[in-house]
Structures are given as C-alpha cells and as structure tokens.
Chains A and B, each alone.
Chain A
C-alpha cells in the first residue's frame, strides 16, 4: 500500500459500530520489545542503528507478510507525511521527531503498526474500534510471536521483557481505551473518572498521549503498571472500570437531556451552525464542535448526519491531514481556511 492511499483511507480505529462504540472510540494494545545483545536505542551508534533497522525491517515485513505489510523509512518521509502518521496513531510523536535510521511497518488494514528504533527497538501496536481488549491483545500476541521467530528478545526471567524505561518493563504492555466523554465534561464531573481509575494504577491522558490535552472530550485510559501482573490481569483491571465510566457518562447525558434540554440543544446546534458556516476555524475549535455534534447525533437530537462522517472529521481536520489534502505546506491561518472549506464541503453545506 502506498503512503498516500494509506493516509486517504479511513482509520480503522475510528470506524463506528464497535462494541460500546458510542463511548469507547477505540482500543489500543502496545508491546515494547528489545533485541537481545544490543544496547537500547538511545545508546546505539549511527551505524548500529542502521544495521538494527535493516534487521527489524526484515523481521517485521516477514511477520506482517500475510497481512500485507508495508515498510516506511522515517528519514525519507516529508514533515507532513510524518505528521499524518502521528495523527493516525501509526507512529509516536517521539519517532516522528527522532533522528537517525528508524521506520514503521504497517499492515494493509492499518490496525497494526510496528515501529523500529523508537525508545525501544520495537514498539508493536494494534488498534480496534470500540471496546475489544481481549481481541486486540490476541492479535498483538500473535504478531509478537511471529516477530520473536525472527529476532531474539531481551528477556529476564525475573523482570520479564527488558525495556529502556523501567516504567514499561515486565510485560511491556500498555493497553489504552479511547473514550468520548462529552457529558461528563459538560456537567463538570470528569474528575469522577479520575477518581475511579486512580486507585487501580491506571492513567488518564489526552487524545495524543502523554502531556496532551483532552481536546474534543476524548480521554485515554491506560494501565500504568506493566510488571507483577499478567497481560490478562492488566486487561481485566482496565476493562473493569469501563462499565462504571460508561454508566457515569450515560447518567450525565440523561441529566443534561432532561434538566437543561434547551441549553443542550443550543450547544449542539450552535456547534453545527459554526461547523457548517465557518470560513476559518482552528483545529482545536473543530474538535470541540465535533464533540458536541457527535453527542447530538448519539442523543438523537442532530439528525441526518452519519457518525462515521463525524468520526472521520476528527482525523481529517488535523493539521497534517489538512495539508496533505491540499498537497502543500500551509501556514496556520491558511490551514484554518482550508479546514473550514473542507468541513463545509464534507457536511454538504454552502
């Protein structure tokens, strides 16, 4: 698959219709692995780094052979392409910004991405839409086995898979759920979620990981501890908070719908009005408005628009994708104009 086709096709984790898809946008499972007998990435000399990348590239392509794997060399990609891959969650911001030889292998469905020479030698990620912790882990486990057939991993019987950062050691597993929680934000009860997860060594962060803001009312919840529990236990703990969070969000939706329907409608339709009429719009405002529109569709108040279109816009209006669409580097004000034009066109407005 060519990079341009990849970027223009919909992202699988944004497909609607997954289990609990109204609130759980996507599931991600990440495994951190290092090749035995080599220093970690930050200590690799430039020629060692190239040598390792070649070895990993061959291993990843073989492991993904049955799934139509493509390999992308990061140094060969344009700034815009790299940005698009970050926005699609196929590579990390760190890999995009790093220097030296590094790459990513992606399967034809874009559910699986394996980064080479990131903080760890290998970072394997698998995505699914909706709440699918077990299924996603099973796929990751399978690809991990296939990779291990090609390269020997650095492993200690006591500490498990050895990683560059001790926060990932053990299983090397980080499982995350991407949640859309607009009503909890609206009713200012989002700290309920923070409280529910804090006791269980789970972390809450924004859409694009560590240090990012929770724009568009999208939060990521993931396990903090990777050592001392099996993969299944980790997934179980993470999954165990979800029914509670979904119940909180549903409750908050009911409250706003019954107690302040006028204010709710005003928010939804005002957002819709701006999305379909704006002539210039920032990416952050877009996410906020799309979040209100998504809530409107799910509450049956905003009709005639498919959730898939809204989900898709979450991604296609990001700065990298807008520039990719225009096929040129754009300044921020130019992007804001291009974004407004694109949204109006996509939503069939004037």
Chain B
C-alpha cells in the first residue's frame, strides 16, 4: 500500500481516527507520519501494555488489590510503576503476571542458564526477605534488642547459604 500523503513511499503506519462519529482510515509512510506528529513505537513498551491491561483488570477489580506480604507492594502499585517490589511478587501476582509475561516474552518458562549454586531454593530466599523486613521494623520501632537478635539469625542463615 502506498502512503496517502506523499504517494511515493510504502505505507507502514495505519491509523483509524474517529472524528464526530465518523471513522476515517489513513495509511502513511514513516516520514509522513512523523511530519504529522504521529508517534511511532518501534518497540514494546511495558507501561503501555500494562496500562492497556489496567482497564480490563479494573472491571475484574480483584488483582489490583493483591498485596505481597513480604514487600507490601500491591498489584495496582506495580501497574503504575512497572517495577516489582521483591522476588516473591512473582508468586503473589502469578495470575495477572501470566498475561504480561506472555505478551512480552511469548512464552512462560525459563530454559536458559542455571545458577551454579545448587542451594538457591526459594523458601530460604523468602525467609531471608521476611527477616530483613522484621529487622527494619524493629529498627524503626527502636526495639534494638529485637533487631540485634534478628540480625544474628540473618547472619547465620546467610553463612549457611554461602557454604551450601
């Protein structure tokens, strides 16, 4: 298809405009589209995918209120920022994230490199995450004895992880 504006180049941008209830289709080449101020996206933008999904999810409502017990982030917050709060979010938000992962990657399972350390089991990782959160809370509440106790437990767990 040839560009409707310059009538020279191949039209690669296809627009559907709705003006006063009238639908108009336009086919432009990249240069003409740029000159007319049409933004061209050559890549998948996560924010766009997410905000596109927001509406669909808003009607369902449920996912937005999902909250990670470890880092405290809600799915709605994640959708706004595009960044997760902690590794555990992948489990807490597993359902709504499935759609995001499929859109971005087209597939859902890891088939690449594996860490050399055998012992990176997720349970131990989560436990550390929770302990660190309690430590932070203890420090904030000025409960220093409790904080020291938690810090010792973290040290022991960390060393155990390293020597595994």
Contact partner of B107 (CB less than 8 A), chosen from A37, A48, A225, is: A225
> Which B residues, 32 to 76, have Cβ-Cβ distances below 8 Å to chain A?
42-44, 46, 70-71, 73
B104 to A, closest residue via Cβ: A167
**List of 8 A-B pairs having minimum Cβ-Cβ separation, nearest first:** A228-B107, A37-B128, A160-B110, A203-B43, A171-B112, A227-B105, A39-B86, A225-B105
List 17 contacting pairs A-B, 8 Å CB cutoff, sorted by A.
A36-B87, A37-B127, A37-B132, A37-B161, A39-B70, A154-B125, A155-B115, A156-B122, A159-B109, A166-B84, A166-B101, A167-B104, A169-B101, A188-B31, A224-B43, A228-B108, A230-B112
CB-defined contacts of B86 to chain A, threshold 8 Å: 38-40, 43
Interface size in chain B (residues, C-beta < 8 A): 53
* In contact, B87 and A156 (Cβ under 8 angstroms): yes
> Which A residues, 19 to 63, have Cβ-Cβ distances below 8 Å to chain B?
34, 36-40, 42-43, 45, 48
A148 to B139 Cα, complex, angstroms: 30
* In contact, B109 and A40 (Cβ under 8 angstroms): no
Instruction: Given A40-B83, A164-B83, decide whether A155 and B120 contact each other with a Cβ distance below 8 A.
Output: yes
CB-defined contacts of A198 to chain B, threshold 8 Å: 42
* In contact, A227 and B83 (Cβ under 8 angstroms): no
Q: Which residues of B contact A (CB under 8 A)?
A: 9-10, 12, 29-31, 42-44, 46, 70-71, 73, 81-87, 90, 97, 100-101, 104-117, 119-120, 122, 124-129, 132-133, 136, 158, 161-162
A170 to B116 Cα, complex, angstroms: 16
Instruction: Given A39-B71, A159-B90, decide whether A227 and B110 contact each other with a Cβ distance below 8 A.
Output: yes
A229 to B85 Cα, complex, angstroms: 25
> Per-residue CB proximity of A214-234 to B under 8 Å, as 1/0?
000000000011111111000
CB-defined contacts of B129 to chain A, threshold 8 Å: 37-39
CB-defined contacts of B105 to chain A, threshold 8 Å: 169-170, 201, 225-228
Q: Which residues of A contact B (CB under 8 A)?
A: 34, 36-40, 42-43, 45, 48, 119, 141, 144-145, 148-149, 152-162, 164-167, 169-171, 173, 188, 190-191, 194-195, 198, 201, 203-205, 210, 224-231
* In contact, A145 and B111 (Cβ under 8 angstroms): no
* In contact, A194 and B97 (Cβ under 8 angstroms): no
How many cross-chain pairs have Cβ atoms below 8 Å apart between A and B? 164
* In contact, B112 and A38 (Cβ under 8 angstroms): no
* In contact, A152 and B42 (Cβ under 8 angstroms): no
* In contact, A160 and B85 (Cβ under 8 angstroms): no
A162 to B126 Cα, complex, angstroms: 13
Instruction: Given A36-B161, A166-B97, decide whether A230 and B111 contact each other with a Cβ distance below 8 A.
Output: yes
In the assembled complex, the CB of B47 is this many whole angstroms from the nearest CB of chain A, namely 10
Contact partner of A159 (CB less than 8 A), chosen from B42, B44, B110, B127, is: B110
